[in-house]
């Protein structure tokens, strides 16, 4: 049992069918190592300065985390709005909404001696779940090679199809083993978690989630990204941050690009 890993040339229909079935898939080397390295170096000083602030029982005490990613790394926009990722988000989310937005963007650097994170579902932030409807998807970009030893993300395959109120017992997990520039994509309902780092080097990832446009975003981008920074991005990125209504009425504001 392994996590299916596809080259970027895979047909979208095959990739999306595997994602619906298994709850997670890898798109291998979707971004160049140049881009992965550029994002990692833009994030580096922020990990070093504030990465420890988010440490907790859930996030770990040997893991650095940062948010407000579009404020800290301009090149992260190329990952966040990667056309292949948006194509997958379109397929999973657009049947249930007019548009979707970033839920959250989080840099996660798992350091040696970190233990395995508690398995969880990202959509647990919302109080209900509806069979057949995903609230969000998550994308964890490998900014280092992800290995079995350095904390490659654990996933319970098929757990996105579990009936409520099933919880994990001792089901086996598979890990996202993938070279730098790859992405593991998982449903909001898929049980997963960061791995233990038994290597001697840290493992950096960038996790971006995308949620239905009529839901509250996990990270408040209006407050976490200064307005002048938000305005400096092109319209598709501003829309993903939340600068759009859901249609003409929900979340309306003067200048809504879709009316009113």
Q: Are strands 24-27 and 5-6 parallel, antiparallel or unpaired?
A: parallel
Which residue of 23, 51, 107, 205 would you call a contact of ligand AKG, by CB under 6 A? 205
**Bridging pattern class, strands 24-27 and 100-110:** unpaired
Letters for 112-151 (x = contact with ligand AKG by CB under 6 A, - = none) are: -----x----------------------x-----------
Examine residue 238 and tell whether it contacts ligand AKG (CB under 6 A): no
Least distance (Å) between residue 237 CB and ligand AKG: 23
Pairing of the two strands 24-27 and 183-187: antiparallel
Q: Which stretch binds ligand AKG (CB under 6 A): 85-93, 127-135, 186-194, 248-256?
A: 186-194
Distance CA 185, CA 198 (A): 23
With CB under 6 A as the contact rule, which of the stretches 35-43, 78-86, 192-200, 217-225 interacts with ligand AKG?
192-200
Q: Which stretch binds ligand AKG (CB under 6 A): 13-21, 160-168, 189-197, 216-224?
A: 189-197
**DSSP labels for 157-199?**
TTGGGPPTT---SS---EE--B-TT-EEEEETTS-EEPPP--S
Contacting residue, 23, 51, 181, 194, with ligand AKG by CB under 6 A:
194
- Cα–Cα dist 145/150, whole Å: 9
Name which position in 27, 40, 108, 143 contacts ligand AKG (CB under 6 A): 108
Are the C-beta atoms of 105 and 67 separated by less than 8 Å? yes
Torsion angle (degrees, nearest 10) of CA 213, 219, 223, 225? -90
Tell me the closest approach of the beta carbon of residue 208 to ligand AKG, in angstroms.
11
Binding positions for ligand AKG, rule: CB under 6 A: 108, 117, 140, 153, 192-194, 205, 207
């Amino acid at each position: 049992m392994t996590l299916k890993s596809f080259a970027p040339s895979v047909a979208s229909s095959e990739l999306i069918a595997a994602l619906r079935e298994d709850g997670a898939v890898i798109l291998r080397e979707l971004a160049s190592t140049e881009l992965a390295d550029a994002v990692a170096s833009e994030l580096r000083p922020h990990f070093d300065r504030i990465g420890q602030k988010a440490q907790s029982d859930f996030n770990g005490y040997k893991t650095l985390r940062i948010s407000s990613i579009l404020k800290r790394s301009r090149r992260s926009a190329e990952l966040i709005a990667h056309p292949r990722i948006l194509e997958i988000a379109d397929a999973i989310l657009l049947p249930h909404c007019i548009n979707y937005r970033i839920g959250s963007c989080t840099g996660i650097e798992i350091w040696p001696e970190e233990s395995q994170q508690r398995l969880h579902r990202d959509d647990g932030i919302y109080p209900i779940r509806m069979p057949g409807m995903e609230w969000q998807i998550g994308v964890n970009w490998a900014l280092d090679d992800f290995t079995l030893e350095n904390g490659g993300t654990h996933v319970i395959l098929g757990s996105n199809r579990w009936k409520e109120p099933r919880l994990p017992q001792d089901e086996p997990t598979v890990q996202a083993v993938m070279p730098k520039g790859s992405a593991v994509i998982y449903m909001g309902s898929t049980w997963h978690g960061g791995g233990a780092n038994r290597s001697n080097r840290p493992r950096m990832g960038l996790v971006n989630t995308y949620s239905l446009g009529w839901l509250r975003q996990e990270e408040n981008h209006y407050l976490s990204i200064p307005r002048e920074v938000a305005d400096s991005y092109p319209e598709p990125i501003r829309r993903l941050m939340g600068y759009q209504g859901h249609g003409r009425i929900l979340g309306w504001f003067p200048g809504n690009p879709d009316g009113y």
